[in-house]
């Protein structure tokens, strides 16, 4: 097995990094956190113009078609720069849902628009504050309309459409659930912003009241489809997390070298050395697991559920540790608004809760082990 990336994929990573260095520094993140904007339209346009929204979309549907390893490296850079855009919702979730489960006609209709940034998509699953399950879904489809409420929809206030899971009695051979596509611009849709720990990532409650929809795919097992979409997206979110963890670690190390106390750099004190060593080890462990997951995603390996859960758990732990201890390395200044430490801490906690929390993915990891009952 070769878990490394090709030179072409690394070149794409470097180009994205260079663009984000110039266009998406922490000032852009702060603007979103301060509530000046729900996301950076300029950065989003730049990502679209570079063709990144079509990275995994086949050329036949208007995409670039360079594959998932490149998309993983793009995600890592987006995480490293704390980029406030709807990229994850539109590319990791909505696009993947249509690629994986849409009919040929739906792919021809939606994928070119997603690839060129004409529209932004998301996915709407959760209906309670607890983990979504197959039996917890109460939103319902009647005929060609959808009625119900979805909570904490990522980028729900920005997206043009959502892939929604809802009850559809009598329409499925093995399930009472269906996936459908709903136009979020329709007058029957009400969107209410939700305040979260990371205001730079839009979250919304969406109410559907007899909203016109189209069923996604043909006889799709909706809950199995959601689990597959989540597994694939979890790998991309994990790359965002290791990107953020690396930036938090770099910030801590730089400050420890420059800040002096008692006549010497604070990085020379044993306690801080041990703290940063733990950060580094956690990051490298997560990085290794993410590389394995990228291979599983690119090759459609049977190990993908295990690889996704492993990457997700280790990347979540690494980003949480690095963002938290970055604050500790900065001491009292790390708790102030003026320092950027809190931006990484906010993003780490936000990403932890995407697709289910840490405990959810730990359960998935154990259940995916070869000898698990």
Q: What is the DSSP string of 177-219?
A: EEEEEEETTSTTEEEEE---S-TTS-EEEEEEEEEEEEE-SSS
Mean pLDDT of 233-255: 97
pLDDT at 249: 97
pLDDT at 258: 83
Q: Is the pLDDT of residue 293 over 90?
A: yes
> CATH classification of 121-220 is 3.30.1490.20, yes or no?
no
| CATH 2.40.110.10 domain position(s) in the chain | 121-220
Residue 114's pLDDT band (boundaries 50, 70, 90)? Answer: very high
Q: What's the CATH class of domain 7-115?
A: mainly alpha
Mean pLDDT of 290-304: 95
Q: Is the pLDDT of residue 37 over 90?
A: no
Mean pLDDT of 15-40: 86
| CATH 1.20.140.10 domain position(s) in the chain | 223-368
Gap between the Cα atoms of 199 and 195, Å rounded: 7
What percentage of the chain carries pLDDT values higher than 90? 79
Using one digit for the tens of pLDDT, what is the confidence trace for 265-282? Answer: 777 788 889 999 999 999
Query: Percent helix, strand and coil across the chain, each rounded to 5?
Result: 55, 15, 30
CB-neighbour burial class of residue 143 (10 A; exposed 0-12, middle 13-18, buried 19+): exposed
88 versus 170: the higher-pLDDT residue is: 88
Q: Is the pLDDT of residue 173 over 50?
A: no
Using one digit for the tens of pLDDT, what is the confidence trace for 130-146? Answer: 888 888 899 999 999 99
pLDDT at 158: 95
For 261-314, the DSSP string reads ETTEEGGGSHHHHHHHHHHHHHHHHHHHHHHHHHHHHHHT-TTHHHHHHHHHHH
β-pairing verdict for 189-193 and 161-167: unpaired
Q: Which helix (H) or strand (E) holds 260?
A: strand 260-261
Gap between the Cα atoms of 81 and 27, Å rounded: 11
260 versus 197: the higher-pLDDT residue is: 197
Summary mean pLDDT of the chain? 92
pLDDT at 216: 96
Mean pLDDT of 184-207: 94
> CATH classification of 223-368 is 1.20.140.10, yes or no?
yes
Q: Is the pLDDT of residue 337 over 90?
A: no
pLDDT at 373: 53
Q: Is the pLDDT of residue 2 over 70?
A: no
Residue 103's pLDDT band (boundaries 50, 70, 90)? Answer: very high
Residues in a beta bridge with 183: 161
Can you give the length of the chain in residues?
373
| CATH 1.10.540.10 domain position(s) in the chain | 7-115
Q: Using an 8 Å Cβ cutoff, are 233 and 225 in contact?
A: no
Residue 360's pLDDT band (boundaries 50, 70, 90)? Answer: very high
pLDDT at 175: 55
pLDDT at 172: 46
């Amino acid at each position: 097995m070769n878990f490394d990336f090709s030179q072409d994929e690394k070149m794409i990573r470097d180009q994205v990094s260079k663009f984000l260095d110039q266009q998406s520094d922490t000032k852009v993140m702060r603007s979103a956190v301060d509530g000046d904007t729900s996301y950076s339209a300029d950065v989003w346009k730049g990502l679209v113009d570079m063709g990144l929204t079509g990275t995994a979309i086949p050329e036949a549907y208007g995409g670039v078609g360079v594959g998932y390893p490149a998309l993983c490296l793009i995600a890592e850079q987006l995480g490293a720069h704390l980029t406030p855009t709807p990229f994850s919702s539109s590319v990791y979730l909505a696009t993947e849902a249509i690629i994986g489960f849409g009919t040929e006609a739906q792919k021809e209709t939606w994928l070119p628009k997603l690839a060129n940034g004409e529209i932004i998509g998301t996915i709407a699953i959760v209906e309670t504050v607890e983990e979504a399950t197959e039996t917890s879904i109460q939103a319902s489809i009647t005929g060609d309309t959808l009625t119900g409420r979805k909570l904490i929809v990522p980028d729900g206030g920005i997206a043009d459409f959502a892939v929604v899971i809802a009850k559809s009695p009598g329409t499925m051979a093995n399930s009472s659930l269906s996936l459908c596509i709903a136009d979020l611009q329709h007058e029957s849709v009400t969107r209410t912003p939700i305040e979260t720990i990371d205001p730079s990532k839009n979250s919304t409650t969406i109410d559907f009241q007899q909203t016109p929809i189209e069923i996604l795919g043909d006889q799709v097992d909706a809950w199995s489809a959601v689990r597959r979409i989540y597994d694939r997206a979890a790998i991309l979110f994990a790359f965002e997390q290791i990107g953020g963890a690396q930036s938090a670690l770099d910030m801590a190390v730089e400050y420890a070298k420059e800040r002096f106390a008692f006549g010497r750099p604070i990085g020379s004190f044993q306690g801080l050395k041990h703290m940063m060593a733990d950060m580094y080890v956690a990051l490298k462990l997560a990085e290794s697991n993410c590389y394995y997951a990228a291979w599983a995603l690119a090759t459609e390996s049977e190990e993908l559920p295990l690889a996704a859960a492993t990457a997700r758990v280790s990347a979540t732990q690494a980003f949480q540790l690095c963002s938290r201890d970055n604050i500790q390395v900065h001491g009292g200044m790390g708790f102030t608004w003026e320092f950027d430490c809190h931006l990484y801490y906010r993003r780490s906690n936000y990403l932890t809760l995407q697709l289910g929390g840490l405990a959810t993915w730990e359960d998935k990891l154990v259940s995916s082990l070869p000898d698990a009952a």
